[in-house]
Structure 1
Amino acid sequence: MSCLETIQNYAFRSIGFGERLLPRTDFTLCDQFTLIGSGMIWNLYFGVLAIAFGFFAAIAIALAKDSNRWIFRRPAEIFIFVFRGSPLFIQFFLAYEAFVLLPKLGYDLNLGFVQITLETRMLTKAWLGALFVLFLNTTAYSAEIFYGALTSIPKGDIEAAEAYGLSGWKKFKRVVYPTMLRLAWPAYTNEAIFLFHATTLVFFSGFPAWQQRGDALYYASYFADKTFNPFIPYPILAFYYIILTLGVIAVYGAIGKRLNQHLPSAARRKFRFRPQIIR
């Protein structure tokens, strides 16, 4: 089988298109690059959606934590503490076990005129259940980042906005929100990079890969087990993640320049990649 035929057969295998059976012997570099690259589709899916939904949820929780009312502040503090204080691997494991148990409980929603049986079996699938866990995890970390940025906003900016007659939503929209984003963006970029790296835990922490349709690490582990040589598939996996990281840095760097375009070049906060070793 030529490399072109391999790409045609396996490029989208991880999402159910193409050859159903995995190669068993005579693995080539093309096989490994293609299948591991196919698995990256899932990593992109988890990372992009978790960041997209988590961004807005994190801002809401950061505002709740900064609130003067304990009814908003205390739940936000507990949520952030729980998901930042426990390992992501354990969160995946506990969530999967809970999602498996939910259908056995048989929870029904009684609306008075009709009774609806809530379908929870989909949560045991990685495409929804694992995405939900990643969403909660990145929301907690991002909320703490945004909260730190909120508390770092210069008081002079707030006083200037109030002097111009801005209050409530207008003050938040024109002064607080853009300043918060500008201050938080370097740290939030690191969080986005780490989240994409953390997607490798999905199929190794309880959520099963249906019909061997796993992510990039799943296929890299498959080749390492079959060939007894981890020094080919895992460097290929690392290569894909380096490319992905460079893409995230480019996109977030462009957004960061947009957020800081009104500042003189000497005052702009530069992005520094500071990966977290343990989470």
Structure 2
Amino acid sequence: MIGFLLRRLGGALMVILAISVLTFSMLHLVPGDPVAIMLGEQATAERISVLRQQLGLDRPLYVQYGTFLLNALQGDFGTSIRSGQPVLQEVTRQLPATLILALSAVAIAAPLGILLGTVAAVTRSRFLEFLTTTVPLIGLSMPTFWSGLLMILLFSLYLEWLPVVGNAGLASLIMPAIALALPASAVIARMTRSTLAEVLGQDYVRTARAKGLLERVVTYKHALRNALIPTVTIIGLQFGGLIGGAVIVESVFARPGLGRLAVNAILTRDFPMVQAVVLFGAVGYVLVNLLVDLLYSVLDPRIRQ
């Protein structure tokens, strides 16, 4: 188990190092002078020169990357050009709101998707099978901004049950979390249905049935645990996607978070802030996948080999 963990940690560190290279390269892949883009067309040559020196863009590229990596390891991602505040301070201020939204969406999407997928795999009713396969397809096909606007129209403007926008507690979290969870639950349901249907046809499941075990025991104790191994991967990948999808949902519902922070940083050409948000999101994605690998080894110890 320790060797398995060390291998996965080593792989995660290599991926994070590659991410740091790509994140650092963002500033240098911009066509033209990035400093002139940050300051706008009215910036003077003197101001451009000063900012270039402040950002260290007048030094060799390898020196810039080494400084960026060393500072990032110490939690220093520079200063926001838009607000003048430390980038890490603004990111950590907005990060909890995005994590709460993403975790709430996972808490809705995972049970809903597994339930729909399980019902679709074991049901013998054509109507239920049609329902459990069509509903996820609708959720997968509907963009989050469209479902979000529909929910605002129905539950906020027409029924007046929930607040329209903002971050005013649990009531304001319901619609954004559901809008973010619908596509994810559809993907989870489709994966659960296909893997569980395959597992239910294997020999050991037929043996369990031949022993006279109840069908629900065969399904949930013997088949579902093995069928959930690919589903756990999908849930982990969807969590990373939910963090990215929060950009749209937070904008539609005017919620604070990394999504709106990234949008504002892009619109104001705040490159240090964009770099930090991208790096945080990518590292979070890698850590979630590392956790999924560890859960794999718990669900199926053979994977450690």
TM-score, L = length of structure 1: 0.70
Distance 1:224 1:55, change over 3 A: closer
In the alignment, which of 248, 265, 276 is matched to residue 288 of structure 2? 248
Structure 1 unpaired stretches of 5+: 1-22, 105-119, 267-279
Q: Which of these two proteins has the greater Rg computed from alpha carbons?
A: 2
Aligned amino acid, residue 96 of structure 2: I
Distance 1:221 1:133, change over 3 A: closer
Aligned amino acid, residue 96 of structure 1: I
Q: Secondary structure at the match of 2:159?
A: helix
How far 1:202 moved relative to its partner? 1.5
Q: Is the 8 A contact 2:265 2:273 kept in 1?
A: yes
Aligned amino acid, residue 216 of structure 1: L
Partner of 1:33: 88
Listed as ranges, the matches of 1:1-279 within 5 Å are 27-28=84-85, 30=86, 32-66=87-121, 67-103=123-159, 120-122=161-163, 126-153=172-199, 154-205=201-252, 207-209=253-255, 214-225=256-267, 228-261=268-301, 263=302
How far 1:88 moved relative to its partner? 2.3
Deviations 1:238-273 (A, max 9, x none): 011022112211222211110111x3656xxxxxxx
Distance 1:40 1:182, change over 3 A: same
Deviations 1:9-53 (A, max 9, x none): xxxxxxxxxxxxxx997614x1x2211222121111111122123
Aligned amino acid, residue 93 of structure 2: S
Q: Secondary structure at the match of 1:232?
A: helix
Q: Is the 8 A contact 2:98 2:259 kept in 1?
A: no
Structure 2 unpaired stretches of 5+: 1-79, 167-171
Q: Is the 8 A contact 1:47 1:196 kept in 2?
A: yes
Distance 1:192 1:223, change over 3 A: closer
Partner of 2:42: none
How far 1:124 moved relative to its partner? 5.2
Q: Is the 8 A contact 1:38 1:216 kept in 2?
A: no
Between the aligned partners of 2:242 and 2:82, the Cα distance in structure 1 is: 34
How many residues are treated as equivalent by the alignment? 219
TM-score, L = length of structure 2: 0.64
Between the aligned partners of 1:169 and 1:65, the Cα distance in structure 2 is: 14
Q: Is the 8 A contact 1:221 1:233 kept in 2?
A: no
Distance 1:97 1:152, change over 3 A: same
Report the structure, 1 or 2, having the larger helix content. Answer: 2
Between the aligned partners of 1:51 and 1:222, the Cα distance in structure 2 is: 26
Q: Say what the alpha-carbon RMSD is for the aligned residues.
A: 2.5
Distance 1:186 1:40, change over 3 A: same
Between the aligned partners of 1:181 and 1:26, the Cα distance in structure 2 is: 46
Distance 1:25 1:158, change over 3 A: closer
Between the aligned partners of 2:290 and 2:303, the Cα distance in structure 1 is: 21
Deviations 1:79-126 (A, max 9, x none): 11111122223222222222333336xxxxxxxxxxxxxxx1246554
Identity of aligned residues (%): 12
Query: Does 141-150 or 125-134 show the bigger shift?
Result: 125-134
